[in-house]
Chains A and B, each alone.
Chain A
Amino acid sequence: MTITARGLSIVRGGINVISDVRFSVSSGAFLVVLGRNGAGKSSLLHALSGELQPAGGEIAFDGVNIRQWSPVALAMRRSFLAQQTDCRLPFLAGEIVHLGAEAAGQRGVGARRLVASALEEAGVEHLAERAMWQLSGGEQQRVHWARILAQVNGKPQGHCLFLDEPISSLDIAHQHELLQKAANLARRGATIIAVLHDLNLASRYADQLMLLHETRLLALGPPSEVLTSARLREVFGITTHVMPHPIDGTPLILVGPTTFGTEIRTDSAQTALQTLC
C-alpha cells in the first residue's frame, strides 16, 4: 500500500505539532520516525492511519483520499499498534487477539485458526487463556502485537502496519524478534511505519528514516544519509559518533564520551574508537 501525505499539518490542544509535511512511502518500505519527545511522532502516525483529522493537507492510501475509506475497509488494509493500551474489563489474551482476526473479516473457524497462528507467531500462545490484567507490560505488548498480526491476516502484501513504540516494554531479545518480524513483513510487501527511540535499532531494521524536528520534516532517507552526528546534535543536542557497523556497515551510533557540551575531536579519541571497532 502506498501512503502519501501532502502539506500535512496537525494541531493538538491548540498547538501546532506537525507543519507542512509531505512524503510518500510504498509497499515494502520500513519507515521509522525519529524525533524528540513531543516532536509529533505519535500524532503523525494517528493522522496517517486516518484516526486523527489533520488541520491541513491530505493523506491518500493507494491514491484514494483516506476520508473516502470506510472504517471496515481500512481495518482490512491497515493496523495500528498503540503505544499503550489498557483494558479494564476481564478479557483473556486470546480474546484480544480474536479482535484482530474479526477486524480482518474472519469469523468462526477461520478466525480461531488465524488467532492460533498469530499467537504462535508472536510467541505468546502460552498466554492465550490468561486474563490481560494478569500479564506484565511486556507480555501485554506482545499480545497486542499478536492482535496486529491477526489483523494482517497472513496477507502482508498491500497492508500497512503502524507501530507506535512497539518495543517500549520488551526485553532486548523480544525487541529484535519483533522488529525482525516486522522487517520480514515489509519484505513480503507490507508497508511499515514505526516510531522508535533507539537509534541503533532504527538504523538496523529500517530502510528509511524520518527525522522530525520542531514540527517539520528535517530529513527523510536511508539510515546512512539521515544519521549524521551533525543532525543528531541539532535534533537531540547530544554528542554522538556515527560509524559503520563492523559486520554489515549499517550506521552505528555511539553516544559520548561527553554526552552534552563540546564534542571530543582529538585524533587519539578517533583512533581509539576505530581500534575498538
Chain B
Amino acid sequence: MTLAKGSAFCVFLAILSGAVALISLRTGAVPISWREMVGGGDSVGSMVFQTMRVPRLLLGFLCGGALGLCGAAMQGLFRNPLADPALVGVSGGAALGAVAAIVLGGPFLSHSIYILPAAAFFGALAAAILVHVIATRGVRVDVPTLLLAGIAINAFAGAGIGWMIYGATDSQLRDFTFWSLGSLAGAGWDATLGCLPFVVVAAGLLAFRARALNALALGESNAWHLGVSIEGVKQAVLAATAFAVGAVTAFTGTIGFIGLVAPHLVRLAVGADHRLVLPGSFIIGGCLLCAADVIARTARAPAEIPVGIVVASLGAPFFLGLLLREKRARA
C-alpha cells in the first residue's frame, strides 16, 4: 500500500459517504428545506427529518457497513473472495434465531429490544461455528465444502423458519414478513441505538486484525509462521460476524450481497491490503445500503419497496458479472 493511494482512497470515501448522506436526507415523500435540516424547529419537515430521515440514514449506514465489514473479514479468513455471511449460512442462522424468538418467545419480546438481536446473534454464531467446523479439513478450509455446508445450513434454517411459520399466529406472520424481505422501514432512534453496540463490538473485534488477515491470505500455515495466532483471528472473525449479522438481521431482516459486493469494489480500487479493505468495505457497504434505501423509498413513492429486494436485484447481476470476470481471468 502506498501512502498516496491510501489517502486518495480516504478522500474518495469521505466525498462518497457525504454525497450519499446528503441525497438520502434530502430524498423522500416529505420535502425538507435546508433550513429545516440545519435549524430544527417544529414544522412537519423538521420532525420527519429528526425522527425518521436521520435515524434511518444512520441505521442503513451501520447495517450496510457491518455487512460489508464482515464480508471482507470472512473473505480474508476463508481466503476466498466469494465468502459472504449470507452465502455461508450465517444470515440464515440469524434469521432462524430471530423467527424463533418471535414465535416462541412472543410474550418476552416486549421486555427488551435486545432479546431479538440476542436470539439472532446466537443463531448466527451457531451457523458460523458449524460451517467452520464442517469446512475445515486438517489445517485448511475446503471451499467447496464451505459453500455446500452454507447451502445445507441455509436449507436447514429455511426449514426451521417454515416450521415456525406453520405454527405461527397472524400477527407473528406479519412480523415475519418483515424479516423475509429486509427493510429499513422500522428505523427510528430505538433501532439505530439498539443496533449500534453490536456493530461497535464487531468493529472492535476486527479493528486490529488487518495484519493477521493479510498474513492469512498466504494460508494458515504461513500465517502461523509469520507470528499470527490463527485461533484468535478465527474466533474474532466468527464472533464479529455473529454479532454484526445477528444485529443487522434482527433490525432489518435478511439483506444479502452487501458483504460480497462491498469488499470487491474496494479491492478493485485499492488492492487486497486489509488495512484499507476492512474500513473501506464498511464505508462502501454503508453507502450501498443507504443508496439502495433511497431507491426503495422513491421508486414507487409513497409506497416503499423492501430494501432487501432492491439490494438483491442489483447484487445478483453483479455477482454473476463477477463470476464471468473470474472465468475470463483464468482463461
Contacts and interface: CB of A to CB of B under 8 A. Distances in A.
A76 B227 CA distance: 8
Given A85-B218, A99-B215, A90 B225 contact: no
A46 interface: yes
Nearest to A103: B226
Contacts of B214: 91, 95, 99
Interface residues of B, number: 24
A102 B273 CA distance: 13
Interface string A68-111: 00011011101110100111111110011001101100000000
Interface string B108-122: 000000000000000
Contact of A90 (B80, B224, B267): B267
B226 to A, nearest CB: 4
B218 A74 contact: no
B227 A74 contact: yes
Mostly, the B contact residues are: loop
Interface in A132-162: 151
B298 interface: no
Contact of A71 (B79, B219, B227, B272): B227
Contacts of B226: 75, 99-100, 102-103, 151
B267 A71 contact: no
Nearest to B273: A95
Contacts of B228: 71
A71 B271 contact: no
Contact of B81 (A76, A88, A103): A88
Contact of B271 (A76, A80, A95, A151): A95
A85 B222 contact: yes
Contact of B218 (A72, A75, A79, A87): A87
Give chain A's interface residue range (CB within 8 Å of chain B): 20 to 34
Contact of B272 (A80, A82, A89): A89
Contact of A85 (B76, B219, B224, B272): B219
Given A85-B219, A96-B218, A102-B211, A91 B273 contact: yes
A234 interface: no
B331 interface: no
A86 B143 CA distance: 14
Interface of B: 1, 75-76, 79-81, 211, 214-215, 217-219, 221-222, 224-229, 267, 271-273
22 contacts: A71-B229, A75-B225, A76-B227, A79-B225, A80-B221, A82-B221, A85-B222, A87-B217, A87-B218, A88-B79, A89-B75, A89-B217, A90-B272, A91-B272, A92-B271, A95-B272, A95-B273, A99-B211, A99-B214, A99-B218, A99-B226, A100-B226
Given A76-B227, A89-B272, A99-B226, 8 more contacts: A51-B221, A72-B227, A79-B225, A80-B221, A90-B271, A102-B211, A102-B215, A103-B225
